[in-house]
C-alpha cells in the first residue's frame, strides 16, 4: 500500500466514523499537530493515538454538531502526503457554520502515519467557535 493509499484510508474511515480504523492507521508514537492558533493547538502536538483521542477527537465531538473533512487533491511525495481539502462544520454552542480550506501533511512509515500536521484558517475557526486566540 502506498503512502497516499494509507492517508486515503484514514479519510475514508474518518468519514464513516470508523474510529478503530482511524486509530489503527496511526503509529503508536504518532506526532499529531494542529495549526498554530487553532482552539485545539497544544503548542507541541500530541504523541500517540490515545492522546489524539483525548485532546482532539473527544473535544471535537462535544464542540461540533457536524464536522466533515472533504479531501480533494492528494500530493504523494513518497513518505510524505499533502492533502488539500475543505472542512464543513456546524458548531454546537454558536450554531455557526464553517466552510474553509484545509491542508494536511502526513508522514507515513511502514504503513502507519507517524506525523500529522494541520494547516487551516484559524481565525475563521475561532470566529465560528466564539473564541479568541
Q: pLDDT band at 34, cuts 50/70/90?
A: very high
The Cα 74–Cα 7 span in angstroms is 9
Share of the chain above pLDDT 90, in %: 95
CA dihedral sign of residues 125, 41, 65, 49: positive
Which domains are seen in the chain, by residue range? 3-36+45-129 (3.10.450.50)
Mean pLDDT of the chain: 96
Judged by DSSP in three states, 13 sits in helix
Q: pLDDT band at 133, cuts 50/70/90?
A: low
For residue 15, pLDDT over 80 is answered with: yes
Cα distance between the two ends of the chain: 40
Average of pLDDT values for 23-43? Answer: 95
* Stated pTM of the model: 0.94
Residue 28 neighbours by CB distance under 10 Å: 10
pLDDT tens sequence across 55-82: 999 999 999 999 999 999 999 999 999 9
Residue 77 exposure: Cα atoms within 13 Å on the Cβ side:
8
CA dihedral sign of residues 76, 58, 119, 91: positive
Per the CB < 8 A criterion, the answer to whether 69 and 15 are in contact is yes
Q: According to the model, what pLDDT value does residue 42 have?
A: 82
Rg, Å, the chain Cα set: 14
Sheet holding 64-76, edge to edge: 46-47, 26-33, 112-120, 97-109, 80-91, 64-76
pLDDT tens sequence across 79-109: 999 999 999 999 999 999 999 999 999 999 9
Amino acid at each position: 500500500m502506498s503512502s497516499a493509499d494509507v492517508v486515503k484510508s484514514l479519510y475514508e474511515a474518518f468519514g464513516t466514523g470508523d474510529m478503530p480504523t482511524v486509530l489503527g492507521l496511526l503509529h503508536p508514537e504518532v506526532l499529531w499537530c494542529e495549526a498554530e492558533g487553532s482552539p485545539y493547538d497544544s503548542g507541541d502536538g500530541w504523541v500517540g493515538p490515545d492522546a489524539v483521542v483525548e485532546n482532539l477527537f473527544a473535544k471535537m465531538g462535544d464542540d461540533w454538531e457536524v464536522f466533515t473533512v472533504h479531501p480533494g487533491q492528494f500530493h504523494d511525495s513518497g513518505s510524505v502526503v499533502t492533502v488539500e481539502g475543505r472542512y464543513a462544520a456546524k458548531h454546537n454552542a454558536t450554531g455557526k457554520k464553517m466552510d474553509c480550506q484545509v491542508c494536511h501533511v502526513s508522514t507515513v512509515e511502514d504503513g502507519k502515519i507517524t506525523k500529522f500536521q494541520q494547516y487551516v484558517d484559524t481565525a475563521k475557526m475561532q470566529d465560528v467557535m466564539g473564541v479568541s486566540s
